[in-house]
Structure 1
Amino acid sequence: MIPSVLPTYSRAPLHFVKGEGSWLIEEDGRRFLDLGSGIAVNALGHAHPDLVKALTDQAQMLWHVSNLYEIPQQQALADKLVAATFADTVFFTNSGTESCELAVKMARKYWYDKGHPEKTEIITFSGSFHGRSSAGIAAAGSEKMTKGFAPLLPGFKHLAWGDHEALYAAFDETTAAVLVEPVQGEGGIRPMPDQCLKGLRALCDEKGVLLILDEVQCGMGRTGRLFAHEWAGIAPDIMMVAKGIGGGFPLGAVLATEEAASGMTPGTHGSTYGGNPLACAVGCAVMDHVADPDFLAGVNRRAGHLRQKLEGLVADHPDIFESVRGSGMMLGLKCKVAPADFVKAGYAAQVITVPAADNVVRLLPPLTLSEDEIAEALVRLDKAATALEAHPA
């Protein structure tokens, strides 16, 4: 008999009932150190007092009115994002998947309105993940994402990650945009080198196509800058955001320049819940923290310490790990064992990690992870690795 919850996840037998900062409490009372943050969502940890206050204050006032009316909290969050980024305008969604849908529509509508309806194709890269909608799985293109869901949405050209010659050759008269994650998350914590991101921006300018960045997982302070592309000193035309922007409350956004968004006129897109007062009140509270230079300096300092300790962990367990990679608080342990086995060993050691492709285990802790919690994290990760060495799966 099928369970009442559709079985599309192989769920761990854990039942968390409370969260406190970097900690999750199981219903049996065990305390787990959360190095997953709900897959890079709980940027400020669990039950952060500023987020709790923003949510409860707004909940006592107004929850939902729809986008048929002006929403002050939405305007406030849009203003904060525009002031802090390349963007001139913002549309709010409920998720990264919805942000992908709009980013694709925006790029194609831009060229249609410019008198080039033939420019519909979007270049994407192997290992990418852009959500599980029809556009998202078609953009990623991997068999894991697309098998059984044909016919796929057309209009995407898939290139191998890091194949510069193929990238140069891929542009033609139908190319509308390039879509890329500055740091691949699901793909195994693979950062695009700064020089490559600079080169990609220059190539898009040379060819006259739009650059779309997917910063759903690597944005909102995750790499030690508000957005990962800032490290390369470039700016996109369109950017997808979600996960950390709501600090745990469902919220996403598409940021764009005035030029790139010029085709999105009244009636071309909409969302019933997107940008509702509750979500945007929380989003404003998140931005007040993660856009603060002092906060980001602390993230970078503690992320450097965490990485140093992880390098030691890898050296101590050469049969379990190969290397550490990533940026800021978006780190990956390249494994010699199956990532799922290490994640399971972590459950026994009461530490939460997240599996990814390319034999990588992701560490995506709250950006507020303390020095003492870093020390405890290493104790628990070491315990998990030691257990796997003693009893290989």
Structure 2
Amino acid sequence: MSRTAHRVCPLKRLSSARAKTCSPVRLMSSSTLAEEAKPLPSSPCTKYKARTHIVSTPSTHTSEILDRSAKYILPVYARPQFALSHGKGSWVWDVDGNKYLDFSAGIAVNALGHADDGVVQVLAEQAGKLLHTSNVYHHEWAGKLAELLVTLTAKEGGLGFSAGQTHPSPPSAKVFFSNSGTEANEGALKVARKVGKERWAAVKPDRNWDDAACDKTRILCFEHSFHGRSMGALSVTSNPKYQKPFLPLIPGVDVGTFNDFASIEALITDQTCAVILEPIQGEGGIGVAQTEWLRAVRQKCDEVGAILIYDEIQCGLYRSGTLWAHSSLPVECHPDIVTIAKPLANGYPIGSVLLRDSVSDSMTAGTHGTTFGGSPLACAIGHHVLSRLADRHMVAQVNETSAYLMGRLNLLPKWFPNILQSNVRGRGLILGLGFKDATIPGKVVSMARERGVFVLTAGSDAVRLVPSLNVSKEEVDFAVDVIEGCLGSL
């Protein structure tokens, strides 16, 4: 192996290093983060222009792992030539002991970071009691997690509930548990197709919902969307790169332009059974839906009897700073269905569909199902994770850290105007830097990794930052310092 020694400075040594080459930000303990404001830098950090995590020849251990993967694993992923071993909080280490700050959080999954003590404890305890039952039988945790999702939504806003308003006790909505976000979207589309057929039959004398003449089956999605890789979810993921090898996909899908009013007027018709969109697009470039546009989508859906689905798999569960990305919006912008997955169990696979009662009434025994979805283990972990994410101190920390990160990122277009677009995209801790040259984001992702930080691309022209929701300001400083070093090197 020829690799430079581990160079990611421990946090205790960051402040002295920054005094010479970076912005004068004084480090604080986690107990004082909320009490003192950290000053923003006056110039970009230059400490991380040089690469620190370079592999010229993989170690024997790493080579064995890579060779075995190449021999036996379907080669559908392009991955860097090292292998991760373990993590803690926002940090991960590879098998050779090199340390990285994970500002991708497993693609917005590890909301509480890696190897969280509470998650580990719940996982171990529940695995020792009841791991899997199938949905032939009840168990205690699915109902508890579903209740928490519904009551939090009623309290904090979403799905037709106004934040801070008094609602019936207990509030009413329904939950279906799946294994992933893709499966959640599949379930939501199935519900919308069934409801659409029933609504069609309700206004047609002597017609049944299963009549072959029913044409209320069309689905509208939007450009730059990402809803999953199965055939149904892929059909509403409007990216030719993903779709083309697998054509033909399911029929009856229309594609509109995000935040475009003309699209919804032209494409939401009496034949539309469902409209699916992300309030904040993740994979597509961190585009945020305009409030008035969402209001118009909701109104048009109501006019034609279409189901409105919000895919909050990446932007939901406090990543945007509120429970749902649409929680703070007027109820006139709210969906009929919300799909959920990524952070719900902090990396243990789970997805869910949250439905208004007016929609869920269509689904009866046998109309949908899953073998593994909603297992005792997944739901126990999900209940633990969601309870902690909903804690007022945690939500306050997310918003405080987001404001600090946004403050630092907003300086970058001013310092690097030839490289970056003028506005930072997103909100909360789902943020994106837009680049003027679409060939640059992929390079910046590689450069940041070579300096000890994981970030992601988004769409064709952005770098995405989706750290763990309990990321510290010290860790924000290190991540942005590295990005500044990368931009300075360009």
TM superposition score category, shorter chain reference: over 0.9
Q: What does residue range 144-163 of structure 1 map to in structure 2 within 5 Å? A: 144-163=241-260
Contact 2:188 2:353 in 1 (8 A): yes
Q: What does residue range 119-158 of structure 1 map to in structure 2 within 5 Å? A: 119-158=216-255
Q: What does residue range 65-80 of structure 1 map to in structure 2 within 5 Å? A: 65-80=133-148
Check if 1:220 corresponds to 2:343: no
SS in 2 for 1:243: coil
2:119 corresponds to which letter in structure 1? L
Aligned to 2:472: 370
Contact 2:456 2:465 in 1 (8 A): yes
Deviation digits for residues 31-86 of structure 1 (CA, Å, limit 9, x no counterpart):
11111001000011111111111111101111101000002111110110111123
Contact 2:219 2:253 in 1 (8 A): yes
Superposed displacement of residue 224, structure 1:
0.2
Superposed displacement of residue 251, structure 1:
0.6
| Structure number with bigger Rg | 2
Where does structure 2 lack aligned partners over 5 or more consecutive residues?
Answer: 1-66, 154-158, 160-171, 202-208
Alignment counterpart, residue 52 of structure 1, candidates 102, 117, 120: 120
Check if 1:353 corresponds to 2:450: no
- Separation (CA, whole Å) in 1 of partners of 2:95 and 2:352: 34
Q: What does residue range 29-40 of structure 1 map to in structure 2 within 5 Å? A: 29-40=97-108
Aligned to 2:39: none
With 257-266 and 82-91 compared, the bigger mean Cα shift is at 82-91
Contact 1:188 1:358 in 2 (8 A): yes
Q: Give aligned pairs, total.
A: 388
Aligned to 2:14: none
Aligned-residue identity in percent: 40
- Separation (CA, whole Å) in 1 of partners of 2:368 and 2:71: 35
Contact 2:259 2:290 in 1 (8 A): no
With 378-387 and 301-310 compared, the bigger mean Cα shift is at 378-387
SS in 1 for 2:326: helix
Aligned to 1:245: 344
SS in 1 for 2:425: strand
Deviation digits for residues 186-236 of structure 1 (CA, Å, limit 9, x no counterpart):
100001022222232223223332111000110111100011011323321
Contact 2:219 2:273 in 1 (8 A): yes
Aligned to 2:30: none
Aligned to 1:254: 353
Aligned to 2:376: 277
Aligned to 2:156: none
Superposed displacement of residue 155, structure 1:
2.0
TM-score normalised to structure 1 length: 0.95
With 72-81 and 306-315 compared, the bigger mean Cα shift is at 306-315
Contact 1:198 1:232 in 2 (8 A): no
Alignment counterpart, residue 95 of structure 1, candidates 156, 180, 198: 180
1:145 corresponds to which letter in structure 2? Y
Superposed displacement of residue 158, structure 1:
0.7
Superposed displacement of residue 111, structure 1:
2.3
Contact 1:313 1:378 in 2 (8 A): no
Where does structure 1 lack aligned partners over 5 or more consecutive residues?
Answer: none
For the aligned residues, what is the CA RMSD?
1.6
- Separation (CA, whole Å) in 2 of partners of 1:51 and 1:320: 41
- Separation (CA, whole Å) in 2 of partners of 1:42 and 1:90: 22
Contact 1:95 1:250 in 2 (8 A): yes
Aligned to 2:275: 178
TM-score normalised to structure 2 length: 0.77
Deviation digits for residues 124-163 of structure 1 (CA, Å, limit 9, x no counterpart):
1001000001111111233112112122101211112222
Check if 1:328 corresponds to 2:428: yes
Check if 1:25 corresponds to 2:93: yes
SS in 2 for 1:113: helix
- Separation (CA, whole Å) in 2 of partners of 1:222 and 1:174: 34
- Separation (CA, whole Å) in 2 of partners of 1:14 and 1:199: 48
- Separation (CA, whole Å) in 1 of partners of 2:145 and 2:173: 13
Contact 1:242 1:252 in 2 (8 A): yes
- Separation (CA, whole Å) in 2 of partners of 1:226 and 1:27: 36
- Separation (CA, whole Å) in 1 of partners of 2:436 and 2:290: 24
Contact 2:339 2:354 in 1 (8 A): yes
- Separation (CA, whole Å) in 2 of partners of 1:27 and 1:340: 25
Aligned to 2:446: 344
Contact 1:349 1:381 in 2 (8 A): no
SS in 1 for 2:80: coil
SS in 2 for 1:282: helix
Check if 1:229 corresponds to 2:297: no
SS in 2 for 1:184: coil
- Separation (CA, whole Å) in 2 of partners of 1:168 and 1:90: 31
